[in-house]
Amino acid sequence: MTSTIPAPTDVGALANRINFHTRDQHNKIDAQMSVKFAFAMKHGFIYRQGILAFYYIFQAIEQEIDRILENAETKQELQTKEILNQFWVDDFRRSDKILQDLEVLYAKEYPKKTDLHEFIQQNVLPMQQQAFVDYVHQGIQNSPTTVLAYCHVLYLALFAGGRVMRSTVYRSTGLFPKFPDLTPEEVVRRGTNFFTFSSEGVTAENQLRKDYKRGYELATRQGLTEEQKLDIIEVSNAIFEWNTRVISELGEINRQELMGKLSFKLITFALDEWKHTEKLSRKQKSLVLAMGVMIQILAMWWMLRRFF
């Protein structure tokens, strides 16, 4: 049995098998996330909706992990607990970190933490978000070892891409509210906990990632049946599909809410969405840009007529 992180060519490693069987899904959502993330950087209200959505998703996963670690009863729950104990530590938890970010992002609407927590508890999730949360709970309760799909797909995705995303957010200080006693840089640091796995710097994060991958591999190589591994791979594919649905749903919700509201917010939203559409050619995007300028001129004319 290997005692190190498996090589990419090691076909016996569960992580490699997941990566192989989800390659197409990964490439698809990676392209989508790159476009959507760049788009969200220009619209803070969209960015924080995305962060809020991932709060509920990671909360559901971690509720199930906690339940298994603290109250495992069935044979498969005990098996999963034994595997989790070999690599899972509190530094990986994201829901608590995301909550800290939401306290910054929603500070204007909910200056008191208790008010924000009440909003989060009472918030009615959009259909696809709620369906994903339900899928997490029901799936893990029916087949506890499938929690290992989330442990690989979502948490390692943050390890791999979180640092890049964090760097991008650092340069987008306009996403966050202004605080009189904090510099923009300090606000950003307080609002990017989701992408940060250690307060001790990059070296500590790299070591944490290595420990996680090594522990995951050692625990799953011999600790699972082939049938369980196939179930985990199947759920891994589903996670990518669910993420795509949740992200697409947020875009559709914002589009519908802003339609009919002739405002600068609507114009910039629509213009940026068109500019970031992958299907448009360079010539088409130039045309969209020209149309956007004309729309803004018409909007200004309309506003002047309305008020003067």
Domain that holds residue 273: 261-308
Mean pLDDT of the chain: 81
Please choose, from the candidates 186, 209, 151, 161, the residue with its C-alpha nearest in 3D space to the C-alpha of residue 37: 161
With a cut of 50, say whether residue 288 has pLDDT above it: no
Average pLDDT of the segment spanning 21-36: 66
Amino acid at 107: A
- Measured CA to CA in angstroms, residue 280 lies from 68, 275, 293 at distances of 47, 8, 18
What pLDDT does residue 79 have? 98
**Domain match, 238 and 294 both:** no
With a cut of 80, say whether residue 34 has pLDDT above it: no
**pLDDT tens by residue, 296-308:** 444 444 443 443 3
**Domain match, 196 and 268 both:** no
Query: How confident is residue 4, by pLDDT bands cut at 50, 70 and 90?
Result: low
CATH of the domain at 87: 1.20.910.10
Higher local confidence (pLDDT), 56 or 262: 56
Query: Using CA atoms, how far apart are residues 65 and 151, in angstroms rounded to an integer?
Result: 10
Paired tokens of 187: 């606000």
Count the domains in the chain: 2
**Domain match, 266 and 220 both:** no
Query: Using CA atoms, how far apart are residues 303 and 184, in angstroms rounded to an integer?
Result: 33
**Domain match, 277 and 250 both:** no
**Domain match, 34 and 21 both:** yes
**Domain match, 68 and 205 both:** yes
Rg (C-alpha) for the chain, rounded Å, is 22
> Which residues are CB-contacts of 299 (< 8 A; sequence separation ≥ 6)?
262, 263, 264, 267
**173 falls within a domain:** yes
**3 falls within a domain:** no
**Domain match, 74 and 148 both:** yes
SS3 for 124? coil
With a cut of 90, say whether residue 169 has pLDDT above it: no
**pLDDT tens by residue, 52-111:** 999 999 999 999 999 999 999 999 999 999 999 999 999 999 999 999 999 999 999 999
With a cut of 70, say whether residue 197 has pLDDT above it: yes
**Domain match, 195 and 273 both:** no
Paired tokens of 249: 């749903």
Is 21 labelled a binding residue? no
**Domain match, 114 and 139 both:** yes
Query: How confident is residue 31, by pLDDT bands cut at 50, 70 and 90?
Result: low
**pLDDT tens by residue, 201-259:** 889 999 999 999 999 999 998 899 999 999 999 999 999 999 989 988 988 887 776 66
What pLDDT does residue 222 have? 87
Instruction: Say what percent of the chain tops pLDDT 70.
Output: 72
Average pLDDT of the segment spanning 168-179: 76
pTM of the entire structure?
0.80
CB 276 within 8 A of CB 35: yes
Query: How confident is residue 126, by pLDDT bands cut at 50, 70 and 90?
Result: very high
Query: Using CA atoms, how far apart are residues 220 and 223, in angstroms rounded to an integer?
Result: 5
